[in-house]
Copies of this chain bind each other. A is one copy, B any other.
Amino acid sequence: MYRKCVVCGKRASIVIERARVGFCEEHFIEYYERIIKRTLKRNGFSGGRVLVAVSGGKDSMALLYALNKLKDDLGIEIMALHIDLGIDNYSIESRRAVEKLLKELDIKYIIVSVKDYLGVSIPEAVKFVRKPPCSVCGLVKRWIMNKVAYENNYDYIATGHNLDDVSTYFLKAMFTYRYEDIVRGNEVISPPKPELKMVGRLRPQIFLTEKENLFYCEVNGVPYVDLECPLSRGALLKKYKTLWETALKLNPMSQYNFTRSILSIKKKIQQEEIEIKPCKICGFPTTASDGVCSFCKLREKIKIMKKNK
């Protein structure tokens, strides 16, 4: 089924089950980029300065390549940001892949290290706290991305969250009754709030799957790292893989529709305005009731624990 490209009738190189179509390489690229543009435009995006966060994995590498190609179309000016997490070989390889693509595309970029901001690398940091590694790494990256983007006058940070990520995040939030996680975050676009030193967010691949991002890299010769983070990155996705496979067998649109349903619901919910204020230490936005953001709390904690060692 769907053995032929829906556009030109040539042999299909990829099948998009949820849309019940096949594409040859050329028309897949068209499709992929159309989805990126549509996702942004339908959510009211009208351009600006965009800092693209690239980890070196297939999703963000595809994103950087696509946004660079579409920059005139979208009315954006881009710069890439790579954060070196300091996770042994994984980070070395990631950085190498990112640098390779940056050189090829001849894009402006910044490479920073977690250690420069936090005092320690991610593997060291996770030893000091009881939180799961992905949660520590996530909060550190978000803080660094926002700081770098803000200080370089960028309006938005674009990240490579894909349909598998976002649908799983939402499903888990429902399965664990974390109402806040359903209502907050993971929008296609969060507008910038410069008065709060808060850069906006773009998730242009929210309606594209892992598989599609991978194929987009392959057909465009985009390099990417295929390593798994040794600190168990993607653990959540793996846990939910069988579940989504079962769901997609029931209905190939289930994952896509589920995500759309949540996004529609979110738009209708009367958001209780959560007070965002500047962190007492770093001045970047926080919702913490004690006025100190999670990044500064982590940094202080690590400082004290290192001193006491």
A binding-site residues for B, Cβ under 8 Å: 173-177, 179, 182-183, 239-240, 242-243, 246-247, 250-251, 253-254, 257-258, 260-262, 264-265, 268-270
Contact A247 B175, CB 8 Å, known A268-B269, A269-B265: yes
A174–B175 Cα distance when bound, in Å, is: 14
From B175, B179, B258, B264, give the contact of A175 (CB < 8 A).
B258
From B175, B250, B264, B268, give the contact of A253 (CB < 8 A).
B175
A260: chain B residues within 8 A (beta carbon): 177
- Nearest residue, chain B, Cβ from A175: B254
- Nearest residue, chain B, Cβ from A271: B268
A204–B270 Cα distance when bound, in Å, is: 28
Q: Determine how many copies of this chain the complex contains.
A: 2
Q: Closest CB-CB distance, A139 to chain B, in whole Å?
A: 24
Contact A182 B265, CB 8 Å, known A250-B240, A258-B174, A258-B175: yes
From B174, B240, B250, B261, give the contact of A261 (CB < 8 A).
B174
Beta-carbon contact of A246 and B242 below 8 Å: yes
Q: Could you write out 5 A-B pairs with CB less than 8 Å apart?
A: A174-B262, A175-B250, A175-B253, A176-B251, A176-B253
6 further A-B pairs in the complex, CB-CB below 8 A; given A175-B247, A183-B268: A175-B251, A175-B257, A175-B258, A243-B246, A269-B269, A270-B270
A182–B247 Cα distance when bound, in Å, is: 18
Contact A176 B257, CB 8 Å, known A243-B247, A243-B250: yes
A268: chain B residues within 8 A (beta carbon): 183, 269-270
A247: chain B residues within 8 A (beta carbon): 175, 243
Contact A173 B246, CB 8 Å, known A268-B269, A269-B269, A270-B270: no
- Nearest residue, chain B, Cβ from A266: B265
A247–B175 Cα distance when bound, in Å, is: 8
Q: Closest CB-CB distance, A116 to chain B, in whole Å?
A: 38
Q: Closest CB-CB distance, A200 to chain B, in whole Å?
A: 24
A179–B173 Cα distance when bound, in Å, is: 19
A265–B263 Cα distance when bound, in Å, is: 12
The residue among A183, A239, A246, A251 with the most chain B CB atoms within 10 A of its own CB is A246
A242: chain B residues within 8 A (beta carbon): 246
A264: chain B residues within 8 A (beta carbon): 177, 179
A270: chain B residues within 8 A (beta carbon): 268, 270
